Amino acid sequence: MILVTGGLGFIGSHTVVSLQEKGHEVLIVDDLSNSAIEVLDGIETASGIRPAFEELNLQNTAGLARIFKNNDISGIIHFAAFKAVGESVQKPVAYYQNNLGSLLNLVAEVEKAASPIPFIFSSSCTVYGEAKELPINESAPVQPALSPYGNTKQIGEEILLDAVNAIADFRVIALRYFNPIGAHPSIAIGELPLGKPQNLVPFITQTAAGLYPKLTVFGNDYPTPDGTNIRDYIHVVDLAEAHVVALERILEGKSDDDYEVFNLGTGKGSSVLQVIDSFERVSGLKLAYEIGLRREGDVIAAYADTTKANNVLGWKTKRSLDEALASAWKWEQKIRNL
Ligand code: UD1
């Protein structure tokens, strides 16, 4: 059975469906702090299988020990974490406690297990900061984090590397995501941001749905072709599939190293204005937007070098930006009853 922490969240829920499609049995552990229990029904609709579920905060060590005792866990995919950059600056202690406490408790369970359990860690391209070379490959230096959130990802990777060195045969793959967007083609699951979305695509779809009068583009005076920031937007189903490939790589003993890192992106950079353009094309709508000030902490451009993920992991993206935005829009229309 594969333990998926945070399995009711955006990337987690899509990964659960991809795991089930490949015949893996899943146990979701989620504390519902940033997710809804109805996502379980969505997963069941998308895959035809209802996964096992335990409501638990991973800081509850007794509860976690019980879960490991009562289930035969053969792999762990760890998503559960706080992820709002701005909030992490206001509440650093809560972020370190939650994100690192949860990780440490999970690794402590691995340490106790009769044989080490393969572990996939949710990391982020945020660890590269403003990279000197584009596209960004895995040997680009990790730069000082710009937020406590980003720091929890960097420290999380360091904790796992130390654990791999200390626990015989413990194998970890850290996946550094670029910008996941979109929804499952069944439209049974998608992104459910709590409150005002901070990320571009949910803000676009919520504006188009009438929740906000307009989108503010955070700066058009960057040194890029159209002046707006460039990111690598990856369809969440492509990203989900990478998790299954990574897990199977360890389960089948195919990893070259006990600790491996892969960048997960499409390899293609898109500017904020190109994303708006693509959204307008697939939705047939005109999006209301204005150009505003730069957002503090934004890097100019970030997109992935996909060579290692393609050649070593043996995975590549299959879905386009248009497809991702079309699915995000369908999902928004569904949840707003439009
Ligand atoms: C952000 C986080 C990153 C985190 C990731 C998780 C920051 C600075 N970075 O990445 O650490 O790992 O989310 O998903 O918060 N934009 C607008 N208007 C908006 C919203 C966004 O113009 O209302 C622009 C941003 O300036 C940026 C692009 O859209 O250029 C993408 O923004 P976003 O979706 O927040 O992702 P990142 O900043 O790449």
Q: Give the residue extent of every domain in the chain.
A: 2-181+233-264, 200-231+267-335
The confidence band for 150, taking pLDDT boundaries of 50, 70 and 90, is very high
Give the residue-averaged pLDDT of 63-92.
97
Pocket test for ligand 1, best of 123, 179, 217, 289 (most atoms within 8 A of CB): 179
Residue of the CA atom closest to atom 27 of ligand 1: 229
CA of 171 to the centre of ligand 1 (A): 31
| Pocket flag, ligand 1, residue 231 (CB < 6 Å) | yes
Do the Cβ atoms of 178 and 250 come closer than 8 Å? no
pLDDT at 214: 98
Ligand 1 atom with minimal separation from the 125 CA: 12
Active site residues: 149
CATH architecture of 200-231+267-335: Alpha-Beta Complex (3.90)
The band of 1, judged by pLDDT with boundaries at 50, 70 and 90, is very high
pLDDT tens digits along 248-258: 999 999 999 99
What are the φ and ψ backbone dihedral angles of 291, each rounded to 5 degrees? -90, 125
Enter the DSSP assignment of 309. I
The pLDDT of residue 288: 98
pLDDT at residue 126, rounded to an integer: 96
87 lines ligand 1 (CB under 6 A): no
Q: Rg (Cα) of the chain, in Å, rounded?
A: 19
| Helices (runs of H) and strands (runs of E) counted in the chain | 12, 13
**Residue 240 pLDDT class (50, 70, 90 cuts):** very high
- The stretch 199-208 carries a mean pLDDT of 98
Ligand 1 pocket, residue 275 CB under 6 Å:
no
Question: Is the C-beta atom of 126 inside 6 A of ligand 1?
Answer: yes
Report the relative pairing of strands 270-271 and 172-177 from DSSP bridges: unpaired
Q: Which residues pair with 301 in a beta bridge?
A: 230
- SS3 category, 86: helix
C-beta of residue 261 within 8 angstroms of C-beta of residue 254: no
Do you know the residue count of the chain? 338
Q: What is the pLDDT of residue 63?
A: 98
Q: Considering the chain, what percentage of its residues have pLDDT values greater than 90? A: 99
- pLDDT given for residue 282 in this prediction: 98
129-145 as b/e: b if 16+ CB within 10 A: bebeebbbebebebbeb
How high is the mean pLDDT of the chain?
97
pLDDT on residue 95 = 98
Give the residues across from 119 on adjacent strands: 76, 172
Say if strands 119-124 and 75-78 run parallel, antiparallel, or are unpaired. parallel
Q: CATH 3.40.50.720: does it fit domain 2-181+233-264?
A: yes
pLDDT of residue 222: 98
Q: In sequence order, which ranges of 113-147 are alpha helices (DSSP H)? A: none
Please tell me if the CB atom of residue 152 comes closer than 6 angstroms to any atom of ligand 1: no
Give 166 Cα–ligand 1 centroid separation in angstroms: 36
Whether 48 is in the pocket of ligand 1, judged by its Cβ within 6 Å, is no
Q: What pLDDT score was predicted for residue 31?
A: 98
Mean pLDDT of 263-276: 98
Structure-token pair, residue 202: 């949910």
Positive/negative CA dihedral, 197, 132, 320, 274: positive
- Band the pLDDT of 178: cuts 50, 70, 90: very high
pLDDT at residue number 198? 93
